């Protein structure tokens, strides 16, 4: 995603819509319409372009999306977030497989597993974002050009 798309994806409405749209592709798979599932996936990818940038970082989903951007920009020293991401993908793939096989209980179980693991992952990315925001994070900024327009000795609020 482009930097602008990342910021737009941090809009809380966008984040929650994308969270819901991903398992919605199971409905067309259940009815044997893989092309409709692809259309839902394309809508999932296009949603960030429909929303404006968030006004603040007060919304939980905004902090989660911004934390995900920080997490993705880091080297993979800690395997736990990557493991969570793999569990999210595995549960969603199993849900798709069971939906195509018309196994309702298994589909609901894997969809619930997707939702739970994804929410846990997002909660972890909120922590990553808040550590960075509060200055507790010892790593370099995710985007080195983030404050490139700030002159030496000048703060970001314009006061020297």
Chain segment 31-71, per-residue pLDDT in tens: 999 899 899 989 988 888 889 999 998 999 999 999 988 88
Binned at pLDDT 50, 70 and 90, residue 148 comes out as: very low
Chain segment 64-114, per-residue pLDDT in tens: 999 988 888 877 677 877 888 899 999 999 999 999 999 999 999 999 999
Phi, psi of 101 (to 5 degrees): -90, 5
From residue 151, alpha-carbon distances to 105, 132, 135, 157 in Å are 59, 21, 20, 12
Q: How many whole angstroms separate alpha carbon 13 and alpha carbon 78?
A: 30
What is the 3 state secondary structure string of 116-158?
Answer: HHHHHHHHHHHHHHHHHHHCCCCCCCCCCCCCCCCCCCCCCCC
Rg (CA), the chain: 18
């Amino acid at each position: 995603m482009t930097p602008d798309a990342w910021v737009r994806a941090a809009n809380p409405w966008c984040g929650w819509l994308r969270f819901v749209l991903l398992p919605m592709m199971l409905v067309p798979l259940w009815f044997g319409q893989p092309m409709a599932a692809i259309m839902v996936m394309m809508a999932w990818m296009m949603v960030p372009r429909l929303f404006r940038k968030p006004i603040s970082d007060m919304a939980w989903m905004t902090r989660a999306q911004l934390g995900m951007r920080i997490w993705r920009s880091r080297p993979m020293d800690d395997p736990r977030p990557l493991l969570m991401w793999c569990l999210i993908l595995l549960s969603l793939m199993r849900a798709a497989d069971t939906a195509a096989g018309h196994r309702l209980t298994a589909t609901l179980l894997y969809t619930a597993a997707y939702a739970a693991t994804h929410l846990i992952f997002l909660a972890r990315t909120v922590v990553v974002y808040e550590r960075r925001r509060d200055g507790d994070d010892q790593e370099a900024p995710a985007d080195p050009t983030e404050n490139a327009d700030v002159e030496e000795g000048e703060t970001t609020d314009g006061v020297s």
